[in-house]
Amino acid sequence: MKHSPIIFFIDDDPDDQYLVRRAMQQLDFNVELVGFESSERLFSHLNHSDPILPDFILLDLNMPMISGKDVLKKLKGSTTLSTIPCIIFTTSHSDRDVEESYLLGANSFIIKPGTFAQTVKIMQQLCEYWLNTVTLKAKD
């Protein structure tokens, strides 16, 4: 039986969490969006004995304590988690952030849009690509 896709969204901004959640509700994908307001909460979840793993991860770069880049390093350095696609979803327009993110193993880099309609469009495209177009590693 095929599971409902799971997307993790790690972002410390409650407004961004709300907008992405609302955008996902506009789509025809039966997706479970799991939000984490900090990197620490993500790693707390992942450190459980049998954590639920996502089909892909949306990751903000600019977070307190453990930055998105540090999260990316840790995820891509793990044999268990390294195959999960990580999409950077950030306000940063920095060429350096783009380059470093890809060097650390990011699968995509998306600058957060300025409108809700653009957010819906981006979420539609992400789900279409990562859930319907590519073949992802089967979950164990």
Go through the domains of the chain in sequence order and give each one's CATH number.
6-133 (3.40.50.2300)
Dist. CA 76–CA 129, nearest whole Å: 21
Q: Give the model's pLDDT for residue 1.
A: 44
Q: Give the model's pLDDT for residue 51.
A: 83
Residues 6+ apart with CB under 8 A from 119: 19, 20, 23, 112, 113
Task: Report yes or no: 121 and 92 within 8 Å, Cβ to Cβ.
Answer: no
Q: Encoding tokens for residue 2?
A: 């095929």
User: What does each of the 140 residues of the chain score in pLDDT, given as a tens digit?
Assistant: 457 899 999 999 999 999 999 999 999 888 999 999 999 999 999 888 788 899 999 999 998 888 999 999 999 999 889 999 999 999 999 999 999 999 999 999 999 999 999 999 999 999 999 988 988 777 66
Dist. CA 30–CA 28, nearest whole Å: 7
Q: Give the model's pLDDT for residue 76.
A: 94
Give the orientation angle of helix 95-103 with respect to helix 68-76, to 10 degrees. 20
